[in-house]
Amino acid sequence: MFKWDTLIINATIATMEEGSLAYGMIEKGALGILNGRIEWLGTTAGIKNSIETLAKELIDAEGCLLTPGLIDCHTHLVFGGNRADEFEQRLNGVDYQEIARNGGGILSTVRATREASFDELYQQSLPRFQALISEGVTTVEIKSGYGLDFESELKMLQVAKKLGDEHGIQVKTTLLAAHAVPPEYKDNADGYVDVICTEIIPKIAGLNIADCVDAFCEGIGFSYEQTKRVFDAAARWGLPVKLHADQLSDLNGAALVAEYAGLSADHVEYTSLKSVKAMAKAGTVAVLLPYAFYVLKETKLPPIEAFRKHNVPIAISTDCNPGTAPSSSLLTTMNKACVAFSLTPEEVLTGVTRNAALALGIEDEVGSIEFGKKADLVLWNIKHPADLCYWQGLNRVQRIFK
């Protein structure tokens, strides 16, 4: 009778445990897995019995790095169509307003997403999802927000669920009906917010297909008051909230989502010190999205020093979307977080493991390597975790445990 299903020995284990320093590193570590849970954690030397008899499968990691499975906690990877042509037009000097007047921008994605059948939407989203998970991402958050009516938002969330189910990957779904004002409510954003609060949220909540509600609180999105109404409706239906907050201007979005004990405030470039303090008090995670920052050539940095000083957890995510973050690589995003935001590799790895789990409310199960947590792990063909942020264009995943 074996004690464990799998025993990994001689691994450099970055546990990312809370309160630990230097990645919570265990050199020459060993880890026993039973029924998908971490049932033993320590050093290889700490295993007393003859190692070969302990587990059905014995893996000698030969010093390679073992980390928690990576978590991408903010994506829009389910969408229809392709906007490479707009990318090219912009670089040929056509301005964004003109592209929008000609039917481009977010509303072109809305059109393509509405027109796509469930299967077409699944097939179009699949390569982006596969690219993410090939890099050791084992949990993905996916938002709706290109349907902007009940049926199309539901279709997006169902595609997201199916992507997770078909790949054995945990997908957390977020209803982002308040992403943009749909064309049929042009000049009547309040009318559309009514539909979100009285029809879309109640129906989606009734189907139990969204884990969370999000909104885009911005001059070009929804106002503070409109966002508040969306959050009130989410609260009525028992759904937690998060927010695209203070990306292009400070509308006190981060403070608003903190007021609702929200899971995360995302982007947060223009967030004020007052809002940072509100986030700290509420335990709201700051999700930084360096890829969008880079594509938009933004120059205003998020208040990273203030987040550090007030112990606001920082997470990092791709923001994978067809407009401002055309990327399905979390590893590339991690490098950008180091270079553009001057975060340390340890802060960045924490941001795609433990703090990303916190941003999704699943920190009890995943995000760090600890006794009793899920054996949700990645073995990398590298020796030091900084290498994950350092070199670009190499995928060193050796094995994924999920």
Which residues here bind Zn ion, judged by CB under 5 A? 319
Give the residue with the Cβ less far from Zn ion, 149 or 319.
319
Q: Which residues contact 394 (CB under 8 A, 6 or more apart)?
A: none
Give the residue with the Cβ less far from Zn ion, 243 or 377.
243
Give the residue with the Cβ less far from Zn ion, 8 or 180.
180
Q: How far is the CB of 319 from Zn ion (least distance, A)?
A: 5
Q: How far is the CB of 42 from Zn ion (least distance, A)?
A: 40
Q: How far is the CB of 301 from Zn ion (least distance, A)?
A: 18
- Compute the distance between CA of residue 247 and CA of residue 251 in angstroms, rounded to an integer: 9
Name the residue whose CB lies closest to Zn ion. Answer: 319
Which alpha helices (H) appear in 209-272, and where do they start and end?
Answer: 224-236, 253-259
Tokens at 354, concatenated: 């433990």
Give the residue with the Cβ less far from Zn ion, 233 or 268.
268
Q: How far is the CB of 241 from Zn ion (least distance, A)?
A: 14
Q: Which residues contact 30 (CB under 8 A, 6 or more apart)?
A: 7, 8, 9, 10, 11, 40, 41, 42, 43, 44, 46, 47
Q: How far is the CB of 320 from Zn ion (least distance, A)?
A: 9
Residue 49: CA count within 13 A, CB half-sphere: 9
Give the residue with the Cβ less far from Zn ion, 30 or 156.
156
Give the residue with the Cβ less far from Zn ion, 23 or 79.
79
Q: How far is the CB of 106 from Zn ion (least distance, A)?
A: 11
